[in-house]
Amino acid sequence: MTIRPLHDRIVVQRIDEGEQKVGGIIIPDSAKEKPQQGKVIAAGDGKSKDDGKRVPLDVKPGDSILFGKHSGQEIKLDGNEYLIMREDDVLAVVEEGDIKKKTTKTKTKK
């Protein structure tokens, strides 16, 4: 089954951050916080302006994003859990290649 979000909404699948440990103690699944990072699975066509033109979204399917703790509506589709949220709920797009380039440029020579 495929899903097509409307307007400025996106469908996101959470990215698990792995097993959480605090001071050597393994935290049970029931006490873990849900990850605030995800992958965009589908995106709508964009927000409609008053003149009828559409403003395209900044995110696209395949992007890794960061979002707020209580963002979106949780849904279950074909046994998988997803979030449907507005693009306004997205805090940032994670671009790993750019982060590595920036950190190598900022190193100082001795």
CA distance 59 to 93: 8
Structural domain boundaries in the chain? 9-18+31-105
pLDDT in tens, 53-84: 889 999 999 999 999 888 889 999 888 899 99
Q: Based on the number of CB atoms within 10 Å of its own CB, is 12 exposed (0-12), middle (13-18) or buried (19 or more)? A: buried
Identify whether the C-beta of residue 82 lies closer than 8 Å to the C-beta of residue 41: yes
**What gap in Å lies between CA 17 and CA 87, rounded to an integer?**
22
Superfamily of domain 9-18+31-105: GroES chaperonin (2.30.33.40)
CA distance 59 to 10: 8
Report residue 103's pLDDT band, with 50, 70 and 90 as the boundaries: very low
- Is the whole model's pTM more than 0.85, yes or no? no
